[in-house]
Amino acid sequence: MREGDSGRSQTGRGGRARGGRNASVDAPREVARDVLRAVRERDAYANLVLPALLRERKVSGRDAAFATELAYGACRSLGLLDAVIAACAGRSIDEIDGPLLDVLRLGVYQLLRTRVGAHAAVNTSVDLARSEIGSGRAGFVNAVLRRAAEREPDEWVRQLAPRDPLGHMAFEFAHPVWIAQAFADALGAEAGELRELLAADDERPAVHLVARPGAITAEELALVTGGEEGRWSPYAVYLDGGDPGALEPVREGLAGVQDEGSQLVALALTRAELLGPDAGRWLDLCAGPGGKAALLGALADIDGYRVDAVEPAEHRAELVRTATRDLPVTVHVADGRDSGLAPGYDRILVDAPCTGLGALRRRPEARWRRTPADVRELTTLQRELLTAAWDLLRPGGVVLYSTCSPHLPETVAVVSDAVRRTGAEQLDTRELLPGVTDIGAGPGAQLWPHRHGTDAMFMAALRKPL
């Protein structure tokens, strides 16, 4: 059963709202609408636009949480929402003006995927339309949303979803079919878990923190933040929600925001057995925005080692510098395929640019932007980066290749090609993740949202023969 609208802004109705905005529209919904607009008009990233809008409009607390749920949820659910809107409007999505479409997506999301009451979802959406477009076109919003409210979510799925099992699941959990197929292929013999995986990938993820080694323990971080220690990484802490940037340990650089799967990638590199001693010369070849470089730097610092971090874009290199301040990390603005660095590294991380299919929970609009055509260019880049890393690696050293994608062309295919061309010794990566269960048949390791609560990180460790 749906409940009443618990997300009503404290601005109330009548007069002018905070910041001089229209008080007939509550602030959380107005913020969410403007996020959808930025994503639609400018191909903006919701996770970058939303925090800035919340700060600018002084939206905080429950209002900020509600705006976040609406904005991210509507971005994630776009395919499902658009199908329902088209059915209720009797016209293609392409025939609906953008500003109206933003409001309709927000309204249908509230109707189908939140506990907001139908009356509140419809009326607040009409207010949004009227405040910007006028009463005439607000009537169209009212009519479409009232039709959408006539059926329960599962009825809309039954009516509009494709009949084949894969297409039906993809529609129900708001994924493009090609991504659902890529997940099924990567699951292989466990493809029966696809429904569970898609459901987990369609949920809002928990916030994961990383405790900086040598500065604070996960136990201490959990006590300070009210979080819970992670299951897999000794440095992970889970939070239910809130703004992690406002936490004192994060502000002071004792902790950062990082998915536990990404923490495991960095840890796996440091645990791999070398042939010969570790001289403490480590490299992060694809370092931006700096989360893994920071964890590697903190671990290196404990033993007096150093890390080089390569990032081709200056603005992202600056993010790496910020993330690794006070750590033994040197940032190089260069293309990882031609970094100009001297060979001889003991350990190299290649966390390669990828489709990001494994991190769709944290990048809500990404699933609707990526296409199969993106894969070929990315796999070429991935192979070139791995080749460059191999050339920089000393005999007996280890390179760890990882992607935040489980897509087989970006994972096992890239690694198999490297092994064939170089004669690399492929280590059993599962041994580098002690205690982590259900990570595949090896020698690579695959994490999953539905099994591990992490992004779907893939990793494979390759050792250079002496």
Q: Can you spell out the DSSP letters for 333-395?
A: ES-GGG--PPS-EEEEEEE-----GGGTTTSTTGGGT--THHHHHHHHHHHHHHHHHHHHEEE
User: Exposure of 42 by Cβ count < 10 A (0-12 exposed, 13-18 middle, 19+ buried)?
Assistant: exposed
Residue 359 near residue 456 (C-beta atoms within 8 A) = yes
**Is 219 assigned to a binding site?**
no
For the record, the structure tokens of 112 come out as 């189908």
**Is 335 assigned to a binding site?**
yes
d(CA 420, CA 417): 5
What is the number of other CB atoms lying within 10 angstroms of the CB of residue 447?
Answer: 28
* Residue 409 per-residue DSSP state: G
**Is 308 assigned to a binding site?**
no
- Catalytic residue among 75, 88, 354, 404, which? 404
CA-CA-CA-CA torsion sign (25, 243, 41, 143): negative
Give the length of the chain.
466
**Is 290 assigned to a binding site?**
yes
Residue 293 near residue 307 (C-beta atoms within 8 A) = yes
d(CA 264, CA 271): 10
For the record, the structure tokens of 191 come out as 């493809």
| β-pairing verdict for 425-426 and 458-463 | antiparallel
Q: Which residues have a Cβ under 8 Å from the Cβ of 172 and sit 6 or more positions away?
A: 80, 157, 161, 198
Closest CA to 349 of 268, 406, 423, 409: 268
**Is 288 assigned to a binding site?**
yes
**Is 291 assigned to a binding site?**
yes
Residue 120 near residue 5 (C-beta atoms within 8 A) = yes
The phi, psi pair for 63, rounded to 5°, reads: -60, -45
**Is 464 assigned to a binding site?**
no
**Is 391 assigned to a binding site?**
no
Q: How many helices (H) and strands (E) does the chain have?
A: 19, 12
d(CA 30, CA 368): 23
Closest CA to 255 of 227, 217, 292: 217
Active-site residue flag, 75: no
Residue in the block written with tokens 């005999």? 395
Helix extents (H) in 191-313: 194-201, 218-225, 248-251, 260-271, 291-302
Task: Encode burial over 126-146: b for 16+ CB neighbours within 10 A, e otherwise.
Answer: bbbbbbbbeeebbebbbebbe
d(CA 169, CA 157): 9
Residues belonging to the active site: 404
Annotated binding site for S-adenosyl-L-methionine: 286-292, 311, 335, 351
Annotated binding site: 286-292, 311, 335, 351
